[in-house]
Amino acid sequence: MVNPDAWQWCSGCESNVPSWYTSGSRCKACARLARRTFPPGFTAELVRDLMKLQGGRCAICGNRQQRQALAGDHNHRTNMARGLLCDTCNHKLLGGAHDSLRILEAAVYYLRNPPTSGRWLPPEQR
């Protein structure tokens, strides 16, 4: 049986969290968000809404970030916010592809039709 005194309401994410995981009236994750600086296009309110919408998970892979907060991903040309991503998806996947749909679509094509499959075509023939 859980001791109800061992839980506290977080005013940030509006959920019950263990008391040991609180800092004032917020859970540690929400308290970190309140102190955090955000990339262009993000506000603390937007991050809070996205955390709730995404369930605290990366919008691409669905994993929870263990060691640090999810990163605010934004369009580098327009500064429009897109969502919250784990470090791997933000830096290695999107950053590695330079946010290029052409590169990401080519990667999907490659995974579905590797050269060893006999179905692969070079990019200029697709």
Answer with the residue of higher pLDDT: 23 or 55. Answer: 55
Domains in the chain with CATH codes: 7-36 (no CATH), 38-86 (3.40.1800.10), 96-126 (no CATH)
Nearest to 58 by CA among 69, 46, 43: 69
pLDDT at 18: 86
Name the band, by pLDDT with cuts 50, 70 and 90, for residue 44.
confident
Query: Would the pLDDT of 4 be above 90?
Result: no
